[in-house]
């Protein structure tokens, strides 16, 4: 009976993945954090392997400049619509109850629908038609090492986990598809797709993580996670073609390689009468900074951040753990980039680009431990 219930549960999860149509970040290229998070320390699992998968899907369409939404884009049908799906496959080696190592491989599938990329030349529409560009393939891989800072045997109610890692530029940062009505006599032309749907950012980066939990009662506790990606490289040399849209975007002709961050925290509750089931609720912040910690921050990027409330559910059956979370955006801000500020100084006018966001994102996945 238990095997039958587990089979039904797994089948339901994959049906949901295949059919859900949801929304989230969009043009601010907040990429998957590659299973960033934590698993509570466990005893007697030395030498255990854990296979985890995490899916992330969203559709963006609501344009913001700063915190102000440009609702007219929806009225006149000029909004950019991004469909983005990522599948992170992570393999973790649990050395002992304090140390573990992880490798994460993301697989990405993206579609971007717009008007302005398919017919706008030097600020004038040759044709006003909506077309789509696509990208598919492996993204940037990440390797990380984790350590529980406190002895798990002596600190069962709470602990802090630190992690450091390296992100390799394995994803194509110059993926190409056809732009329409931009070539001679209005023909289509093979060009690099927008930065928001590129498979990689073209930089070797370094990640730092802190994860913590504290059980106030045996079935009620708090948690927090922090993640930061440092990308020292300033720009990847990939042409954006933004300078062809209007001369005002001449200094955005090359793509930047931005940092990325994520913070979350909240409460979790385990049900006494339903073994293995727990619920959590908290807040989540993720975004792209205006200025990187290391290296330059010029060229083209869409900095910004999203505050979300994040309900989630976890269900564990022996060594198999399922999870589902639904961050819902309550605040979105497309901040002024370095090039926006430079253009503002040149023109004497305040210039601030916009970006497409949406309402919520769905994360679904599972983790399985084996020897």
Report the C-alpha gap between 363 and 367 in whole angstroms: 13
Give percent above pLDDT 70 in the chain: 88
Residue 11 pLDDT > 50: no
- Domain with 312 in it: what CATH number? 2.40.128.130
pLDDT given for residue 30 in this prediction: 67
Return the structure tokens found at 198.
Answer: 């590129």
Tell me the C-alpha distance between 154 and 362, whole Å. Answer: 36
Distance CA 227, CA 261 (A): 6
Split at pLDDT 50, 70, 90, the class of 20 is: very low
Residue 326 has pLDDT above 90, yes or no: yes
Q: What angle do CA 169, 23, 63 make, to 5 degrees?
A: 90
**What is the average pLDDT value for the chain, to the nearest integer?**
89
Name the pLDDT band for 42 (thresholds 50, 70, 90). low
| Domain extent at residue 313 | 2-370
Query: pTM higher than 0.95, yes or no?
Result: no
Domain tally, the chain: 1
Question: What is the per-residue pLDDT across 210-237, written as a single tens digit (0 to 9) for each?
Answer: 999 999 999 999 999 999 999 999 999 9
The Cα 126–Cα 115 span in angstroms is 11
Residue labelled with tokens 């939990």: 213
Query: Do residues 277 and 314 lie in contact, with contact meaning Cβ atoms separated by under 8 Å?
Result: yes
Q: What's the pLDDT score for residue 201?
A: 97
CA–CA dist 152, 248 (Å, integer): 57
């Amino acid at each position: 009976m238990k095997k039958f219930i587990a089979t039904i549960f797994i089948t339901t999860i994959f049906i949901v993945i295949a059919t859900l149509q949801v929304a989230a970040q969009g043009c601010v290229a907040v990429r998957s954090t590659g299973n960033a998070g934590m698993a509570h320390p466990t005893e007697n699992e030395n030498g255990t392997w854990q296979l985890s998968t995490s899916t992330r899907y969203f559709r963006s369409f609501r344009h913001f400049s700063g915190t102000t939404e440009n609702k007219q884009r929806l009225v006149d049908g000029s909004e950019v619509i991004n469909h983005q799906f990522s599948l992170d496959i992570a393999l973790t080696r649990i050395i002992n109850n304090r140390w573990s190592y992880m490798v994460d491989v993301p697989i990405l599938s993206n579609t971007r629908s717009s008007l302005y990329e398919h017919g706008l030349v030097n600020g004038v529409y040759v044709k006003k038609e909506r077309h789509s560009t696509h990208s598919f393939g492996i993204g940037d891989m990440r390797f990380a090492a984790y350590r529980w800072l406190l002895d798990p045997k002596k600190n069962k109610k709470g602990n802090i986990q630190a992690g450091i890692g390296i992100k390799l530029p394995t994803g194509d940062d110059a993926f190409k598809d056809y732009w329409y009505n931009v070539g001679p006599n209005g023909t289509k032309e093979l060009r690099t797709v927008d930065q928001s749907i590129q498979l990689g950012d073209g930089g070797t980066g370094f990640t730092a993580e802190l994860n913590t939990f504290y059980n106030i009662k045996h079935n009620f506790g708090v948690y927090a996670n922090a993640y930061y990606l440092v990308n020292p490289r300033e720009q990847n040399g990939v042409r954006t073609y933004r300078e062809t849209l209007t001369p005002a975007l001449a200094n955005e002709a090359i793509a930047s390689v931005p940092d990325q961050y994520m913070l979350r925290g909240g409460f979790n509750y385990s049900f006494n009468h339903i073994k293995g089931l727990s619920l959590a609720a908290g807040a989540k912040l993720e975004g792209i900074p205006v200025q990187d910690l290391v290296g330059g921050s010029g060229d083209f990027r869409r900095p910004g951040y999203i505050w979300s409330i994040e309900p989630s559910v976890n269900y564990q059956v022996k060594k198999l753990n399922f999870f589902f979370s639904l961050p819902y955006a309550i605040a979105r801000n497309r901040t002024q980039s370095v090039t926006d500020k430079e253009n503002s100084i040149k023109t004497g006018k305040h210039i601030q680009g916009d970006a497409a966001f949406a309402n919520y994102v769905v994360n679904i996945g599972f983790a399985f431990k084996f020897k």
